[in-house]
Amino acid sequence: MQCLVNTPDAEAFIMSTQIESGLKIAAGDPKVDAYVGPDIVSAQIALKEGAKKVMALAQDPTRNDVQRHEVAKKIATEVEAKLTSATVAIENRAKQLRESAMEEAELILGPKPARAAIESELRLWVKEQQKKDSGLEHIKAAMKESAELAGVLFSSPRFLLGLSANMADKLKFEAVELHAPEQFAKLSNAVGLMSMAERCKGTVRKVRSSFYSPALADAASKRVQV
């Protein structure tokens, strides 16, 4: 295989865009979420076809190096636009899923006026337990059995529980996982989508470094028009 950028990383990246598994890593998996599937497919197609064109350019006898890299830069810009559009769609979908999941979880695990007294007692219990060596284990074990305790851990400010920010967040999501599984699935999907979006951003950077040489592409601006 011949590439315009003759480095092992560039060649490996461009080769990976010609196989399904490589495209899933680079531009996302359209089967993960139907709402952003079309955006991901569009980005995959643009990436695969763009890389093909760049490989063909490397063997184009009608252009010199500067011209090849000039055209490759235009191709890269088009591919980047598709990847960026897909990234935005994925991030927006992840945000929507997370917000929806948290709103629904709030209805299930949020504070209830009728349980105000028991919720107050549970907060005091958690605050005492977390001071003990095995307190966290007791809290987690009790949370599996008690939706009321899960609700307290989900909705109470951490300073009322005596928990660190990190531990409060972990217990909050464990509460959702245990007592609002459908909402937890949405949150998990949101996390997966955000990870996918980050990979797409990394792919944009790889396109810029693998499709063409900026120095050679920019040299085209020095061309004398006659």
Q: How many CB atoms lie within 10 A of CB 8?
A: 7
d(CA 185, CA 133): 32
pTM, two decimals, is 0.86
Q: How many CB atoms lie within 10 A of CB 224?
A: 4
Torsion sign across C-alpha atoms 160, 165, 169, 175: negative
| Confidence (pLDDT) at 69 | 95
- 79 or 218: which leads in pLDDT: 79
Let me know the angle formed at the C-alpha of 53 by 49 and 58, rounded to the nearest 5 degrees: 150
Q: For 120-143, what is each residue's pLDDT tens digit?
A: 999 999 999 988 889 899 999 999
Q: 32, 189 in Cβ contact below 8 A?
A: yes
Give the burial string for 176-207 (b: 16+ CB within 10 Å, else e).
Answer: bebbbeebbebbebbebbbebbeebeebbebb
Question: Average pLDDT in the 131-160 region?
Answer: 93
d(CA 4, CA 57): 8
Mean pLDDT of the chain: 94
| Confidence (pLDDT) at 160 | 92
Question: Average pLDDT in the 81-106 region?
Answer: 97
Q: Is 95 strand, coil or helix?
A: helix
Which residues lie below 8 Å from residue 179, measured CB to CB, with a gap of 6+? 108, 109, 147, 150, 151
- Reported as a pLDDT band with limits 50, 70 and 90, residue 200 is very high
Question: Average pLDDT in the 78-99 region?
Answer: 97
Q: Give the range among 51-65, 95-109, 141-155, 207-221 with minimum mean pLDDT.
A: 207-221
Question: Average pLDDT in the 171-177 region?
Answer: 95
d(CA 18, CA 3): 14
| Confidence (pLDDT) at 220 | 77
d(CA 134, CA 144): 16
d(CA 214, CA 66): 10
* Token output for 19: 């196989």
